[in-house]
Amino acid sequence: MSLRNTTGRGLLYENVLDTVGNTPTIRINRIAPDHVSVFVKAEAFNPGGSIKDRLALNIIEAAEREGRLKPGQTVVEATSGNTGIGLAMVCAAKGYPLVVTMADSFSVERRKLMRFLGAKVVLTPRAQKGFGMYIKAKELAEANGWFLASQFETKDNADIHEATTAREILSDFDGKRLDYWVTGYGTGGTVSGVARALRAERPETKIILTEPSNAAIVSSGYVNKRNEAHQPIESHPNFEPHPIQGWTPDFIPWVLQEAIDKSYYDDLIPIPGSEGIAWSRRLAAEEGIFTGISGGSTFAVAMRLAEKAEEGTVILVMLPDTGERYLSTPLFDGIEEEMTKDEQVLSASTPSAQLISE
């Protein structure tokens, strides 16, 4: 086996924003069933660590082009974390102040990351769910004349996934079989944008959508009420708190409604968060692929499909982010800070550098 060579893999970029997109598609080698081929699209390779870097960049740049965002104007948005981190990165690079509203139920790491990138984070009560943080962002925008990013309504969200995420997938599987594409949803931008291209150019590819089993709001058939600007005016009655952070706010976003209305998915498979946690841990420990609960949950659905799939089936799974922003969540329950008993035995097996527990 020859020594690895990375010549030509790197490029020289003018700024960090030019590194958004072109994330790798990686084969799963150890934990997928032998009769299928499973690949993951690892969005953690974006500079802000998640797929939401794509929409954050396009929301800002489209608003700049169209004159909706003025130089130095404050940007405000409601987010569970990843969009806020992406916006914080974009705003830092472009010189816009950013204020994020976020329910206090989301991981502490997320708010610290946004503040580290220069944003202000306004926390809202968890009892008011995503709808509460959404209303707070609207209020702040209206009261101060700030630019509301509107990730849940803006066409700039799905458009960037049609233009980038979808094109990358089509390029990676050009001339190759692709039977299933599996994704969850937060805003719905990924499924709506990518599905436009897959339906047009790879109609044989079945699109599988997933959501938390205890917050299966799309499966319920009920669509929450919206105003004339397509903004939600109520919390979805079928929503329950769930551990899959980044998935399924307590309303059906307008961006997602496109996928529902146009039948952009072939099946909708709810999944419990516990399965997502289990598969996220397996991806890390057995494949070396580090993803969060949302990625693990999407992968869990793919594994259900894989077990029943015919020989030679090819499945692509979206992994939206990295696992590092879940350190304070149930994903890391049981992961010790101090040495375990087995590690203490290993330490004691040789004489040097003994750490004595108090």
Choose one of 103, 121, 148: the last residue of a domain: 148
> Is 7:283 a contact under the CB 8 Å cutoff?
no
The tokens describing 197, both together, are 């291209």
Q: Could you tell me if residue 349 is inside a domain?
A: no
Catalytic residue list: 52, 294
Report pTM. 0.94
Strands (E), the chain: 25-27, 37-42, 75-78, 98-103, 120-124, 147-148, 180-183, 206-209, 267-268, 314-319
Whether 64 and 37 map to the same domain: the answer is no
Choose one of 103, 130, 148: the last residue of a domain: 148
Whether 297 and 219 map to the same domain: the answer is yes
Whether 299 and 203 map to the same domain: the answer is yes
Q: Indicate the pairing of strand 25-27 with strand 37-42.
A: antiparallel
CATH number, position 298: 3.40.50.1100
What is the rounded CA–CA span in Å between residue 62 and residue 150? 12
Q: Could you tell me if residue 3 is inside a domain?
A: no
Choose one of 148, 174, 205: the last residue of a domain: 148
Q: Could you tell me if residue 343 is inside a domain?
A: no
- In the numeric block, the tokens 């997928």 are attached to 32
What type of residue sits at position 342?
D
Q: Could you tell me if residue 353 is inside a domain?
A: no
Q: Could you tell me if residue 350 is inside a domain?
A: no
Could you give phi then psi for residue 119, rounded to 5 degrees? -85, 160
Count of structural domains, the chain: 2
Q: Cα(first)–Cα(last) distance of the chain, in Å?
A: 47
Q: Could you tell me if residue 8 is inside a domain?
A: no
Could you give phi then psi for residue 85, rounded to 5 degrees? -65, -45
Whether 166 and 256 map to the same domain: the answer is yes
pLDDT in tens, the chain (358 residues): 778 877 766 789 999 999 999 999 999 999 999 999 999 999 999 999 999 999 999 999 999 999 999 999 999 999 988 999 999 999 999 999 999 999 998 889 999 999 999 999 999 999 998 899 999 999 999 999 999 999 999 999 999 999 999 999 999 999 999 999 999 999 999 999 999 999 999 999 999 999 999 999 999 999 999 999 999 999 999 999 999 988 999 999 999 999 999 999 999 999 999 999 999 999 999 999 999 999 999 999 999 999 999 999 999 999 999 999 999 999 999 999 999 999 999 999 999 988 876 5
- Show the domain range for 318: 16-49+155-332
